[in-house]
Amino acid sequence: MTEHLTQADLIALVEQTMGHRPKIVDMFKRCYDNTLETTIRRHEDGTVFMLTGDIPAMWLRDSVNQLRPYLIPAAGDQGLREIIEGVLKRQCECILRDPYANAFNEFENFRGHHDDLTDMSGWIWERKYEVDSLCYPIQLAYLYWKNTGETRHFTAEFKQAAELVLKTWRTEQRHEELSPYTFERPGGGPTNTLPGKTAYTGMTWSGFRPSDDACEYGYLVPSNMFAVVVLGYLLEVNEQVYRDAHFAEEVRALREDIRQGIERHALIEDAEFGPVYAYEVDGLGGVNLMDDANVPSLLSLPYIDYCAKDDPVYMNTRKLILSRRNPYYYEGSYAKGIGSPHTPKDYIWHIALSIQGMTAAEEAEKLDILDMFERTDAGTGLVHEGFHKDNPAQYTREWFSWSNAMFVEFVLSLCGLEIKMR
């Protein structure tokens, strides 16, 4: 049982399973240690602040993904449990400070993007509203429960944060009519400019993608799918812990609104691939067929627990986004995979390769991706954000903890160790 494995057990298992690939073993160890050794800032109040890496701020999304591999040994490791619970406590504080912010400062020091025209405070590094940022702490709290059995982190503050998430998503179902949120970055260009008008669909509006780039259309489908998943998690948590009938009714109703909105507006009949999911829609006829490397993505739907790997619509969508029909899919002499408009053209993301590997049905595809990792670390022993498909020595972000953690999770999955999702 994985709950009895220690961190040393995990490393030993990888050494044994991957012994014929010494470079992968070395990369695994470096990436595994990277988060614990370089990103954690403990505070006297029990909270833990997690740096994203080479930017001195904590992203709600990144901090969850940075911790995911450590959920496996956390049941038997008090130190890891203290870190995870400390991060969850800090995340609840962040949401209650401002549910529209995506990245936060360690102290009230006014660092970050304070020239942006939005309602900033000294605690906020960046205030780009992203639906997935509110999904991730709920996911971490749920997965921590499922992988350790702990429930003490389901505090009154956690429920208060969850209620604020519900209120925010309800408001953003009718963004134009009800939302207080505005954002403008002077001279920021299109990737920092909010999307145009939307019509009501049942889905909830997002200003920005998990890449921190602006949405083209206001309903970001993978993030709405993630919202459906975590709202389901909240129902289960409420049944176990809070037993609040009104809260359950609110969660259930919002979840059904979003789910129906996805099925009615984001399911597209494609002439080449059949029924597929769009990446973004606006409810007015605007449809964006693509995928981005950042998670949640369409590629990641089984990974975020939205559907099975063999779901027919997912399989069709996967074929589309892993083809040249996706404007951010690249093939080169070192690798092939999905990149992002957040990085230059022809740059493939290691995060997308990890997701592709963990959602692949065929062993051959998983091993091909492992080969790509071996070829594209640029001699650093770590993985990065994006790298050039024909020259991995050209890459972005020397120190990107989320990417390192995703590689660790991919390698663990190849060794038969996966996070319990239910």
54-99, pLDDT tens digit by residue? 899 999 999 999 999 999 999 999 999 999 999 999 999 999 999 9
Instruction: With residue 34 as reference, give the H or E element that holds it.
Output: helix 22-38
Please tell me the distance from the alpha carbon of residue 119 to that of residue 129, in angstroms, as a whole number: 12
Q: What is the pTM of this model?
A: 0.98
Could you check whether the bond before residue 69 is cis, i.e. omega within 30 degrees of 0? no
Question: pLDDT value at position 1?
Answer: 39
The pLDDT of residue 165 is above 70: yes
pLDDT tens profile 304-320 = 999 999 999 999 999 99
Residue 390 lies in a domain: yes
The fraction of the chain above a pLDDT of 90, given in percent, is 98
Residue 21 lies in a domain: yes
Question: pLDDT value at position 53?
Answer: 87
Short-list 377, 374, 370, 407, CA closest to 395: 377
The pLDDT of residue 147 is above 90: yes
Question: pLDDT value at position 222?
Answer: 99
Question: pLDDT value at position 124?
Answer: 98
Please tell me the distance from the alpha carbon of residue 14 to that of residue 25, in angstroms, as a whole number: 7
Question: pLDDT value at position 303?
Answer: 98
Residue 257 lies in a domain: no
Residue 294 lies in a domain: no
The pLDDT of residue 121 is above 70: yes
Answer whether 148's CB lies under 8 Å from 3's CB.
Answer: yes
Please tell me the distance from the alpha carbon of residue 169 to that of residue 138, in angstroms, as a whole number: 14
Short-list 1, 25, 153, CA closest to 73: 1
Mean pLDDT, all residues of the chain:
97
Answer whether 38's CB lies under 8 Å from 109's CB.
Answer: no
Please tell me the distance from the alpha carbon of residue 299 to that of residue 372, in angstroms, as a whole number: 18
Average pLDDT over residues 342-351: 98
Please tell me the distance from the alpha carbon of residue 24 to that of residue 100, in angstroms, as a whole number: 39
Residue 247 lies in a domain: no
The pLDDT of residue 2 is above 70: no
Q: Tell me the residue range of the domain where 366 lies.
A: 1-38+331-417
Domain count, the chain: 1
Residue 370 lies in a domain: yes
Residue 237 lies in a domain: no
Question: pLDDT value at position 65?
Answer: 97
3-state secondary structure (DSSP) of residue 122: coil
The pLDDT of residue 395 is above 80: yes
Half-sphere exposure of 46 (CA within 13 A, CB side): 8
Instruction: With residue 285 as reference, give the H or E element that holds it.
Output: none
Residue-wise over 371-388: b if at least 16 C-beta within 10 A, else e? Answer: ebbeebbbeeebbbbbbb
Answer whether 198's CB lies under 8 Å from 282's CB.
Answer: yes
Residue 117 lies in a domain: no
pLDDT tens profile 229-242 = 999 999 999 999 99
Long-range Cβ contacts of 170-179 (<8 Å, 24+ apart)? 170/204, 170/254, 172/129, 172/131, 172/204, 172/205, 172/206, 173/200, 173/202, 173/203, 173/204, 173/205, 173/257, 174/200, 175/205, 175/218, 179/205
Question: pLDDT value at position 130?
Answer: 98
